[in-house]
Amino acid sequence: MKSRPVCLFLFLITLSALSAADSPDTWTNQDGQTMTATVTAVEERIVVFERDGQTFRYPIANLVEEDQQRVRERAEQLAEQAKAEEAREKVARELRGNLVGVRGRRVANLPADTVEDKTLFALYYSAAWCGPCRNFTPRLVDFYGEMREKHPDFEIILVSRDSSPSNMEGYMRDFNIPWPAVRHNRINQMDLLKKYSGSGIPNLVFIDGGGEVLSSSYVNGRYRGPTAVMRDIRRHLETQGR
């Protein structure tokens, strides 16, 4: 497809908005020339096409009116995709930079991107002083060991109800808790954690990356306990893996 001078510029860009389901379409310019390419991004007056592994920018005004309208519709689709992707990453964004984990005999800050590839989370509200928590935690540790390699998109997050960082860290070391915990000084500042806290512990809440509750220890104010949630998590992950 030949275009007017200064209309075509070749360069590489990140195809962050490209969906795997996208397929090439045929596009026609004002001179009647055609080409087959995929729209990967739309700027104010420029459409970014991908063809044969390369990307290039093309003025929208140089397309026929029908194709200009198709570009505008594609721009709306890409915007919706980006919005949906942002929503799916809500939990990971809120946890970013706020996690610690057991490293040997100490509890240390974890990298900011520790959970960025996770799409399913189990928030575990627990404390060292809670007898039922201490009874349940070893079972959850075993469950986590079973699930973590089969389902790398899943993560448990400890939300401590201990009164001090030292008590929380002692609890994590005593049970060799293998999943991350929210930094003690951040727990009461995060609306995400308050939303699912419930009225007692142990409380296990299974959510997706956008924060939608998939299973909880509390249903309509009634306590059903963490074991039921653990079963629900197993069922969900095994169904997802089929």
Instruction: Convert the pLDDT of each residue in 150-175 to its tens digit.
Output: 999 999 999 999 999 999 999 999 99
Rounded distance, CA 102 to CA 146, Å?
A: 19
53 belongs to a structural domain: yes
Average pLDDT value for the chain = 87
Exposure string over 60-80, b if 16+ CB within 10 A, otherwise e: bebbeeebeebbeebbeebee
- Is there a single domain that holds both residue 83 and residue 94? no
**Percent of the chain residues past pLDDT 70, beyond the cut:** 87
The answer to whether residues 24 and 35 touch, using CB atoms and an 8 Å cutoff, is no
29 belongs to a structural domain: yes
- Is there a single domain that holds both residue 33 and residue 71? yes
In the block, tokens 């963490």 appear at 226
In the block, tokens 């929208």 appear at 60
Q: How many domains does the chain have?
A: 2
pLDDT tens digits, one per residue of 70-105: 988 888 877 776 666 665 678 999 999 999 999 988
- Is there a single domain that holds both residue 72 and residue 151? no
Give the CATH number of the domain where residue 30 resides. 2.30.30
Q: How far apart are the first and last CA of the chain?
A: 44
- Is there a single domain that holds both residue 140 and residue 104? yes
**Percent of the chain residues past pLDDT 90, beyond the cut:** 72
The pLDDT of 177-185, averaged and rounded, is 97
- Is there a single domain that holds both residue 220 and residue 104? yes
Rounded distance, CA 221 to CA 95, Å?
A: 26
